[in-house]
Amino acid sequence: MRVAFQGELGAYSDEAITFHWGGAAEPLPRPYLPDVFDAVEEGEADLGLVAVENSIHGSIVRTFDLLNERTVKAQGETVLRIVHCLIVNPGVEAGDVKRVYSHHQALGQCREYLEKHGLEPVGAYDTAGSVKMIKEQGIMDAAAIASQRAAEVYGMKVLEREIETHNENYTRFLVVGDEEPEPTVVDKTSLAFVVAHRPGTLVNALNALAGRGINLCKIESRPLVGKPWEYIFFVDFHGHVKTPEVAEALKEFKTHTSYIKHLGSYPRFAGQPSLP
């Protein structure tokens, strides 16, 4: 099974693929998030795995936008504990390091460590890609922040492990594809919708869920392009679109919206987050 992800081999998304599927999946690295959706839609990959939110830095809004724009749907989720490592070329010692390359979120999650050690943060498009870059360029006065798996993939040295400011650092990933799983007893549904721009419409829409005892577990708003100060909302709630109570709720929900898109119904993550 081919699973596309954003980043280089050794990225946290690659690690999440191994955690979720074990050896049953062949990771297919892609440079950017839209490339992951392209790979699934064009048949280059059977599925995609995309980061959707982090417990410290919040939502990855580009993922929400792409779920709304594209034809694929969310059909599963997994959660990964993020453990950041300071990674260097073999032979480099801590005193040699002046700069640290990584994705902006990883740099932000390690800000206290970087400030404490007087290290200059330098943004890059990917965590594992930063490791690959300093290896290929033979950089001996800089490090990268990435996973231990990235160090192993590229034959690099881990100077220090668990340099993140907060240990309770988790990222939730969505499995995306062109199928819709059948209902289980622990499902989640994701929707995108727009309500009419008048008082009470958002509350009335959400009451369609609350009135039936359906648990709303996430709500996010994004600017509605072309309509300043209006918004598209993204929600996650417990339940599957094919069950009677959710179907009835959505029937009422639609009466309060000018646009609605079902982004997927899928089994909720019920295990323990991976700890590398």
Neighbours of 12 (CB within 10 A): 31
Residue 165 DSSP label: S
Q: Which residues contact 44 (CB under 8 A, 6 or more apart)?
A: 2, 4, 28, 38
CA angle 122-124-128, nearest 5°?
Answer: 115
Residues forming beta bridges with residue 221, ordered by sequence position: 233
Structure tokens at 32: 């950017």
Instruction: Tell me, yes or no, if 171 is annotated catalytic.
Output: yes
Residues forming beta bridges with residue 3, ordered by sequence position: 27, 47
Which of 63, 78, 171, 189 is the catalytic position? 171
- Sign of the C-alpha dihedral computed for residues 144, 150, 153 and 159 taken in this order: positive
Which of 5, 37, 173, 237 is the catalytic position? 173
Cβ contact 33:50 at 8 Å = yes
SS3 133: helix
Instruction: Tell me, yes or no, if 173 is annotated catalytic.
Output: yes
SS3 210: helix
Q: Counting beta carbons within 10 angstroms of the beta carbon of residue 225, is it exposed (0 to 12), middle (13 to 18) or buried (19 or more)?
A: exposed
Separation CA 143–CA 122 (nearest Å): 10
Please identify every residue annotated as catalytic.
171, 173
